[in-house]
Amino acid sequence: MMCADPFALGDVVDAFTAGGIEWLHIDVMDGRYVPNFTLGPDYCRALTKACSIPLDVHLMVEEPERHVDLFTAFSGVRVSFHPETVRQPVRLIERIREAGGSPGIAIDPAMTVDACAHLLPLVDQVMIMTVNPGYAGQKLLPFCLPKLTRTRQLLDEAGASARIEVDGNVSWVNIPAMIQAGADILVAGTSSLFVNGRVEVAAIARMRCLAAGKPELVG
């Protein structure tokens, strides 16, 4: 949703509703973990009043345990954080679940999936970042694609059911490779769905066709 033109937000939400988008992806940035500032709880509250699509909150912040309660208050919310930003990630995962949210972890390009293997059975989604977090419109880091496959391998070995989310340059060109590598959920931004901050329902249909009905779509 950071890609949406704020002056066209109603039109964007209407397009997502008409196109059956399953989640609204909210990038929360604090200017510390990443060099950018973005969306917060007031924005999330406005979205939940405007439509019934649940939120997929991505906390790109230091000390996410200080902020997580602001987001678990939303019904059906998914909250993912970067495990290296918190001293006790297991406790934070438990806290999100106890608050009624769906916990997830986000894996930065600089971090290996194996470093987080012990957390995979504890979460509902694993977000693989295929660009450096912080800004829209970046190019794919090709070495991140095998992380999707490795995540699937580790989940299968652990008998875990977490879904694999991919975030970063989810473009018309890259989507097939991402799905083939193991992605279940696509976080779509300026590389595909958004053009000048707006979204056409036809673009959502195109993405569903390209994805062959396998992953969910996240706007």
> Which residues participate in catalysis according to the annotation?
27, 167
Assess contact for 55 and 64: CB atoms under 8 A. no
Angstrom distance (rounded) from CA 53 to CA 77: 10
Angstrom distance (rounded) from CA 6 to CA 1: 9
- Residue of 36, 38, 44, 132 lying closest to 82 (CA atoms): 132
Angstrom distance (rounded) from CA 168 to CA 186: 9
Dihedral of CA atoms 47, 108, 151, 23 in degrees, nearest 10, equals 10
Angstrom distance (rounded) from CA 22 to CA 215: 10
Return the residue matching tokens 């590389």.
Answer: 191
Assess contact for 192 and 171: CB atoms under 8 A. yes
